[in-house]
A = this chain, B = another copy of it.
Amino acid sequence: MTATLYGLGIGPGDPDLITLKAHRILSQAPVIAYPAPEDGDSLARAIAAPHIPEGRTEIVIRTPMVPGKYPAHGVYDKYAAEIAAHLEAGRDVAVLCEGDPFFYGSFMYLFERLAGGHRTEVVPGVSSLGACAAVAGAPLVSRADVLTVIPGPLDEEAMAARLGASDSAAIMKVGRHLDKIRGVVERQGLAERAWYIEYATMDKQRVMPLAEVDDGAAPYFSMILVSRADGADGVVGDD
């Protein structure tokens, strides 16, 4: 059995932010798989589209996105079995992962089902974290700064505690949690130090100070970056 399962980081959105390595694997793998909502198009497929040759076998991993629920075991069991059949027949399978495979990616559900029995390689990708900082022109962390990555769904009290204990924070998956997050940020006096970014590096990218964002909901692919760092350098610190 020589086939390999690849978890392929394809980057945050701009198709040119895929790595040379992922690009090469994508050009060679006979089978590609990618997540998609229950109805509708796959963002991962769209990002990688310019790099996918004609005539590949494609597996669309459709997972229900029910607010308040995660896909049940059965969904990934089914797709893992389908992928395993290709691997056992000697065909490499590349699973497209938005951003980086192990940074809030659903690839881990396939990884935990398949890596034990099949040769598996995870190819890291440019994450939304670096992409959002880049397009906002906002350095995330330097020197001995602590960075906390906080999922938007976290409850208000826990979010406030985490934000309060950090030099910099990235609040991911803003979605319908925008107003809650804004409240937490404002109460800590950090509104002036917060950036809002949606669809970083994609054509429909928007970047603005958090204070200028309308109330309501934001897309799932949005992030708020907060920095307490003063940006001064030349200070004496520790390495």
User: Which residues of A line the B interface, CB within 8 A?
Assistant: 7, 9, 11-12, 14-21, 23-24, 65-73, 76, 100-106, 108-109, 111-112, 115, 120, 122-127, 129-131, 133-135, 137-151, 153-154, 158, 161-162, 165-166, 173, 175, 201, 231, 233-239
B16 close to A21 (CB less than 8 A): yes
B70 close to A233 (CB less than 8 A): yes
In the bound assembly, the distance between CA atoms of A138 and B111 in angstroms comes to 10
Query: Which of A105, A150, A158, A233 is the most central at the interface, judged by chain B CB atoms within 10 Å of its CB?
Result: A233
Q: Which residues from B are CB-within-8-Å of A239? A: 65-70, 153, 173, 175
Q: Which residues from B are CB-within-8-Å of A122? A: 133-135, 137
In the bound assembly, the distance between CA atoms of A148 and B163 in angstroms comes to 11
In the bound assembly, the distance between CA atoms of A143 and B224 in angstroms comes to 17
Query: Could you say which of B103, B138, B141 contacts A140, with CB atoms under 8 Å apart?
Result: B103
A103 close to B20 (CB less than 8 A): no
Assuming the A-B contacts A9-B126, A109-B233, are A144 and B134 also in contact, with contact meaning beta carbons closer than 8 angstroms in the complex? no
